[in-house]
Amino acid sequence: MTDTPTLLMTLTGKDRPGVTAAMFETLAGFGVEVLDIEQVVLRGRLLLGVLVTAPRNVTKLRQQAEQTASSLGMELEMAQGQGDNARRREGRAHVTVLSRPLTPAAVAAITGRIADTGANIDRVVRMARYPVTAIEFHVSGADVGRLRKVLAIEAAHQRVDVAVQEVGLLRHGRRLVVMDVDSTLVQGEAIDQLAAYAGVGRQVAEVTDRAMRGGLDFEDSLRERVALLEGLDADVLDLVYDELALAPGARTLVRTLKRLGYGFAIVSGGFSQLTDRLAADLGIDYSTANELEVADGRLTGKIVGDVVDRGGKAAALRRFARDSKVSLDRTIAIGDGANDLDMLAAAGLGIAFNAKPMVQEAAHTTVNVPYLDAILYLLGISREDIEAADAEHGITTPHPLLP
């Protein structure tokens, strides 16, 4: 096929019904083989590209095609060549860019770095226009590892989010999402809310600060903070649960992926008295967290059983994958802190969501916009897809600033 004479026909003009059909009816009379088709409509303007094997009488085809284009009020360009673009299909990747706003300078920089790696942009698709702009570049001829490193540097410089993923069947079909809770699925930290009710907010903050500076590991810091809650009425857990604020887009993310047959899990260094209720309310399949010990209606300041720490989160991801019969390469982990690092590394796709710098550096990709449902765009699900699915179920898609 590589030496076969080909003809590339590019039709541009105002879109209207029947344009594509009319052009292919013209081609049908020349016995050509269709090798490739691309069609894009932007603001009512159509661009149709068709690659076919060259007929014996190219001149006659050109004349008839130009007549068809003229009757449609459109412009036609034709170029002859050799072979199709099969070679360019090697090393395929999807490069997704998220930003609010997305500037021409950022697009120029990202596309320039793609070209610098020797890759080619075959197609550009808009995934969302609000609350962020999300653009997906279909790239071929890429060294995915090198492309990811180069674009990570440029993305930081341009202050945009860029995700690079290999094209393959893994992007389609059933997957398992495992998500951190505090500062990821929900805003803020539950232990800080409990501490405020117990009147020990300053002391808990001091322990947290020592842990952040490396003075304590997670388990020691958690046990020390929980000890400060001793004597707190257990009914306060209900108050804290009622005050939990989901991250914007959280319900949309869970609802959309559940419709697609995804499994969903939450794993938290927080407390099961809150996360189990959260899982039940959102229809989440699996949940694991630390259990606060309660005696005579009050917190004892202790944790029941082993602490769910960094290693515990990764172990939970593997356990949930086994239970749901999903291979690890089909798992997606989402988190923001050092406690999530092992989980992000174990997953097929690790996403750092509004994460600390060290987590962003370690994750496969980062999302720094404050909307959880922006993760859907990385999975090839557009805003229009989300809204159409909601409409079919009689649901008005929530405003992006709402959970």
Average pLDDT over residues 52-67: 92
Buried-exposed string 145-158: b where 16+ CB fall within 10 A, e elsewhere: eebbebbbebbbeb
Domains in the chain: boundaries: 5-84, 88-167, 176-189+245-392
- The yes-or-no verdict on residue 403 having pLDDT over 70 is no
By the 8 A CB rule, do 8 and 71 touch?
no
Evaluate if residue 383 carries a pLDDT over 50. Answer: yes
Position 87 confidence tier, pLDDT thresholds 50, 70, 90: very low
Reported residue count of the chain is: 403
pLDDT at 159: 93
pLDDT of residue 170: 57
Which residue in 3, 36, 143, 182 is the catalytic one?
A: 182
DSSP 355-372: --HHHHHHSSEEE-SS-G
Catalytic residue among 180, 309, 340, 342: 180
| Superfamily the domain 5-84 falls into | ACT domain (3.30.70.260)
Greater confidence (130 vs 169) lies with: 130
- Please indicate whether residue 182 is annotated as part of the active site: yes
Question: What topology does CATH give the domain 88-167?
Answer: Alpha-Beta Plaits (3.30.70)
Span 176-189+245-392 CATH architecture? 3-Layer(aba) Sandwich (3.40)
Q: One fold for both 5-84 and 88-167?
A: yes
Exposed/middle/buried for residue 3 (C-beta within 10 Å: 0-12, 13-18, 19+): exposed
Active site residue 233: no
For residues 41 and 378, give the distance between their C-alpha atoms in angstroms, rounded to a whole number. 22
Long-range Cβ contact pairs of 125-131 (< 8 A, separation 24 or more): 125/382, 126/382, 127/96, 127/377, 127/380, 127/381, 127/382, 127/383, 128/374, 128/377, 128/382, 128/383, 129/383, 130/383, 130/400, 131/100, 131/248, 131/369, 131/371, 131/400, 131/401
Q: 215 — phi, psi (to 5°)?
A: -80, -20
pTM of model > 0.85: no
Q: What is the pLDDT of residues 248-299, one digit of tens each?
A: 999 999 999 999 889 999 999 999 999 999 999 999 999 999 999 999 999 9
